[in-house]
């Protein structure tokens, strides 16, 4: 993994080519600047290399040496609020495939073409998981909680109808390059407070790009059609 310096906003969020896909520039003047990538004093007290998701304030911190952190703005779906605790990044995927849960396909038949039976939606600019996805596990248990990109830059800093934790595509690419597998992750609504673990409920990640008011909850299980 790498730890490149941050550039100016036009450089960080400019148009770029990535693995054969052309990411468009982000209109940073239309986003509250507190949600743009920046180095800040670390408010978490965690050890360097830890990711901390602050669900109250819509921030994700990557803790660095010297009492600093890189802060990213995030958009949170209701799935993003349904789970808190400690995990690790078990897998990292570039331009991941997205497979909607069968329950979601039943509610939204237009998604049938992307069902597990039909092989899912391949990675691409319209894929709701965006340019990268980080899959969080507790031991050998999939939390079904994802940190992922999104083409919907306007949703950053907001609570949205669906998904887990979404970042601007340029930001998830940056985070992906900075963290190795097994990176510790803490998801909490109260920075500095003890982490509340919810072992018997897990949020099933649903489409970050399709508006929906529904959220799926269930016991921990592996979605083999989502992890590869």
148 belongs to the catalytic site: yes
Q: What is the pTM of this model?
A: 0.81
What Å distances lie between residue 78 and 7, 67, 83, 171, 214, CA to CA?
A: 32, 31, 10, 21, 9
Q: Residue 160 falls within a domain, yes or no?
A: yes
Buried b / exposed e along 48-71 (16+ C-beta atoms within 10 A): ebbbbbbbeebbbbbbbeeeebbb
Q: Residue 225 falls within a domain, yes or no?
A: no
Confidence (pLDDT) at 10: 87
Are 181 and 137 in contact by the 8 Å Cβ rule? The answer is no
Range of the domain at 94: 9-218
Confidence (pLDDT) at 217: 25
Catalytic residue among 148, 191, 203, 227: 148
Confidence (pLDDT) at 207: 31
Confidence (pLDDT) at 1: 54
Q: Residue 223 falls within a domain, yes or no?
A: no
Catalytic residue among 52, 111, 164, 179: 164
- Which contiguous run of DSSP H or E holds residue 175? helix 169-178
Total domains in the chain come to: 1
Residue with tokens 């991941």: 96
Confidence (pLDDT) at 77: 79
Confidence (pLDDT) at 161: 62
**Within the chain, which residues score under 70 in pLDDT?**
1-5, 79-82, 161-163, 192-228
CATH number at residue 199: 2.40.440.10
Q: Are strands 85-94 and 184-188 parallel, antiparallel or unpaired?
A: antiparallel
33 belongs to the catalytic site: no
């Amino acid at each position: 993994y790498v730890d490149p310096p941050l550039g100016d906003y036009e450089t960080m969020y400019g148009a770029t080519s990535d693995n054969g896909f052309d990411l468009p520039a982000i209109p940073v003047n239309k986003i509250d600047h507190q949600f743009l990538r920046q180095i800040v004093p670390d408010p978490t007290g965690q050890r360097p290399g830890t990711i901390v998701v602050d669900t109250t304030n819509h921030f994700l911190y990557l803790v660095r040496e010297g009492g600093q952190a890189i802060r990213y703005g995030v958009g949170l779906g209701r799935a993003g609020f349904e789970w808190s605790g400690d995990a690790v990044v078990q897998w990292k995927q570039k331009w991941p495939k997205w497979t909607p849960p069968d329950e979601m396909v039943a509610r939204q038949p237009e998604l049938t073409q992307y069902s597990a039976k039909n092989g899912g939606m391949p990675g691409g600019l319209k894929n709701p998981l965006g340019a990268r996805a980080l899959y969080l596990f507790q031991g050998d248990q999939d939390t079904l909680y994802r940190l992922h990109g999104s083409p919907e830059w306007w949703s950053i800093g907001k609570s949205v109808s669906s998904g887990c934790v979404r970042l601007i595509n340029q930001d998830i690419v940056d985070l992906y390059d900075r963290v190795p597998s097994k990176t510790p992750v803490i998801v909490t609504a109260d920075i500095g407070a003890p982490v509340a673990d919810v072992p018997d409920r897990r949020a099933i990640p649903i489409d970050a790009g399709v508006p929906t008011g529904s959220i799926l909850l269930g016991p921990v299980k592996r979605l083999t059609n989502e992890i590869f």
